[in-house]
Chains A and B, each alone.
Chain A
């Protein structure tokens, strides 16, 4: 029994290793897809957050002579005032043509209104559908609002009224999230990348077990050999699992490396993703390997061709996101019953690990136990289906 199983296993591994294109897509695309996408998203958000606060922006201003104090205030807020278009109409054209992102217009009557203490009008011209322009406009508006508030305080003080009268409420945010906790939100999507890579690693072998062998015409002679179909199926499933484990390990490894190069502390995040967590994450995700291999083999066994199997399995690749997505949208906290749901339980445990929170051993046991049990059940169904005549197509 073991010898036959091992023979099938070794042949499948050799066959898969020799198929370079398939191997590359399984072991490179899967594990790298996550970290690359992740790095891209992180870098984008870091760039944006830097943009908002520190970068000096140029602001074309029309009618600079009407409000020298306001301009000085803007300069103090990292907004450089530059000469703008000739008049308001030219400014409108320039903004819609995209020559300027934001133009500030200070009308002639500004000084008069200002002195009379009636609301003095200024115009911020920007295309708000352009997110880059909108960000700049928001900074300009923010600076103007701050200036306005400062003036209001001065005016009230001059009239003998405490400026505090304008602030009936004093709102303080107390942020209880830890840096690791904040990372968990963003790193939450990481668990899906791992499951994705894990499934990708075994997809081709899972198809090959039935649809692939059949299409090549190698299934029938194989089944005519003096071996039981269970041995064939289990050998193939074992090979599938090994490649899935390899893909998972590579994926965890590439994330570990990628995170070192991401300036996450600039975003106030310090994910707990050291070598120990990587190892623990592998163990937490490992039970999903058998389940994934069995599901993919099962789905592929119903298809008529390799191509059809690929189509169906791409649906299987998405299925594990569903519970993760639902819980994320409803922002449900980890509960005991969630641990019975494969992919969700692994996701929740992983998030806790990244947050550096202690894992409940009962949760870990239920997650592993239920996932393995379901995997075993599906393997049994696969084996039953491998015995039916319809397998030959």
Chain B
């Protein structure tokens, strides 16, 4: 369960996030939707604790991301945008490294790594060095790595970027599987269709503010648009410019 309450974040003169609030409950998929530069990544970075909010609070399963950041990180599996692997390590070693760092005890690491490799269907190239991996392979391994400690909350920043149809499809299946497990999945995207197809809740962000936060049907109703894309455009037009 992820809670965000009125967070602000500036970089110099750029006020990237201006009071974003939303909730991402367990057992649901929450989509953070918005045009490029809307503040999606900054919001997510605050959630996985690499940025501190200037104002406001955010918590993961009740653990504050600033004051209890280590606790918060324990409950998150994060896939940052464009996450890279260690090219000289195999896919398996990349995953195992994170497993060790997350404190999984030595005896069960192998089993856990095997499980996650099976879950993400990366067995075919698990023992190859990740140097020459395709974007899809890289994303899968990076995802496996961030899920290795079995986190309750999963934060994915534009995970489908650069993926082909097949890879996108298996990513979608995985996200649904995680939801069925009762986990909290929060992911960002700028692709309307993707979000519409997957999410239970959609939080549309523009210019660092929340434009609308509801289910797909709720958004259609409130904007009076049958087409989600029209609804999206209408919603972000209502947000005052930065």
A15 at the interface (CB under 8 A from B): yes
Given contacts A15-B88, A226-B103, A389-B51, whether A218 and B73 have CB atoms under 8 Å apart is no
Please indicate the chain B residues that have their CB under 8 angstroms from the CB of A18 in the complex.
Answer: 88-89, 129
Cβ-defined contact, A225 with B84, below 8 A: no
Main secondary structure of the interface of A (DSSP, over half): helix
Cβ-defined contact, B73 with A7, below 8 A: no
| Separation of A19 and B87 alpha carbons in the complex (Å) | 9
Given contacts A11-B89, A389-B51, whether A224 and B80 have CB atoms under 8 Å apart is yes
Cβ-defined contact, B84 with A217, below 8 A: yes
Most buried by A among B86, B98, B142: B86
A72 at the interface (CB under 8 A from B): no
Given contacts A15-B88, A216-B84, A221-B79, whether A226 and B102 have CB atoms under 8 Å apart is yes
| Separation of A224 and B46 alpha carbons in the complex (Å) | 10
B37 at the interface (CB under 8 A from A): no
Please indicate the chain B residues that have their CB under 8 angstroms from the CB of A218 in the complex.
Answer: 83-86
Please indicate the chain B residues that have their CB under 8 angstroms from the CB of A389 in the complex.
Answer: 50-52
The A365-393 residues at the B interface (CB cut-off 8 A) are 389, 392
Please indicate the chain A residues that have their CB under 8 angstroms from the CB of B101 in the complex.
Answer: 4, 7-8, 222, 225-227
Number of interface residues of B (CB under 8 A): 34
| Separation of A19 and B88 alpha carbons in the complex (Å) | 7
Residue in A8, A14, A224 whose CB lies within 8 Å of B76: A224
Please indicate the chain B residues that have their CB under 8 angstroms from the CB of A227 in the complex.
Answer: 101-102
A50 at the interface (CB under 8 A from B): no
Cβ-defined contact, A216 with B50, below 8 A: no
Cβ-defined contact, B78 with A221, below 8 A: yes
A220 at the interface (CB under 8 A from B): yes
Please indicate the chain B residues that have their CB under 8 angstroms from the CB of A359 in the complex.
Answer: none
B165-189: contact bitstring with A at CB < 8 Å (1 yes, 0 no)? 0000000000000000000000000
B94 to chain A, nearest CB (A): 9
Please indicate the chain B residues that have their CB under 8 angstroms from the CB of A4 in the complex.
Answer: 101, 103
The B90-118 residues at the A interface (CB cut-off 8 A) are 93, 97-98, 100-103
Cβ-defined contact, B73 with A226, below 8 A: yes
| Separation of A389 and B66 alpha carbons in the complex (Å) | 13
Cβ-defined contact, A15 with B102, below 8 A: no
A223 at the interface (CB under 8 A from B): yes
Given contacts A7-B97, A226-B149, whether A220 and B85 have CB atoms under 8 Å apart is no
Number of interface residues of A (CB under 8 A): 23
Given contacts A218-B83, A218-B84, whether A224 and B89 have CB atoms under 8 Å apart is no
| Separation of A86 and B50 alpha carbons in the complex (Å) | 88
- With CB as the reference atom, state the residue of chain A lying closest to B151: A226
Residue in B49, B71, B80, B100 whose CB lies within 8 Å of A221: B80
A45 at the interface (CB under 8 A from B): no
Most buried by B among A3, A217, A228: A217
| Separation of A220 and B48 alpha carbons in the complex (Å) | 9
A195-223: contact bitstring with B at CB < 8 Å (1 yes, 0 no)? 00000000000000000000011101111
| Separation of A389 and B48 alpha carbons in the complex (Å) | 13
Cβ-defined contact, B83 with A217, below 8 A: yes
Please indicate the chain B residues that have their CB under 8 angstroms from the CB of A15 in the complex.
Answer: 86, 88-89
A223 to chain B, nearest CB (A): 5
| Separation of A210 and B48 alpha carbons in the complex (Å) | 19
B145 at the interface (CB under 8 A from A): yes
Cβ-defined contact, A228 with B85, below 8 A: no
Residue in B50, B85, B97 whose CB lies within 8 Å of A224: B50
| Separation of A384 and B94 alpha carbons in the complex (Å) | 27
| Separation of A216 and B133 alpha carbons in the complex (Å) | 13
- With CB as the reference atom, state the residue of chain B lying closest to A225: B101
Question: Given A7-B100, A221-B78, list of 4 further CB < 8 A pairs?
Answer: A4-B103, A217-B83, A224-B48, A224-B80
**Interface residues in chain B, defined as those with a beta carbon under 8 Å from any beta carbon in chain A:** 45, 48-52, 70-71, 73-74, 76, 78-80, 82-89, 93, 97-98, 100-103, 129, 142, 145-146, 149
Show 9 A/B contacts (Cβ-Cβ < 8 Å), sorted by A: A7-B101, A221-B83, A224-B48, A224-B50, A225-B73, A226-B101, A227-B101, A227-B102, A392-B45
* 6 closest residue pairs by CB, A with B: A217-B84, A18-B88, A224-B78, A220-B80, A216-B84, A226-B74
**Interface residues in chain A, defined as those with a beta carbon under 8 Å from any beta carbon in chain B:** 3-4, 7-8, 11, 14-15, 18-19, 216-218, 220-228, 389, 392
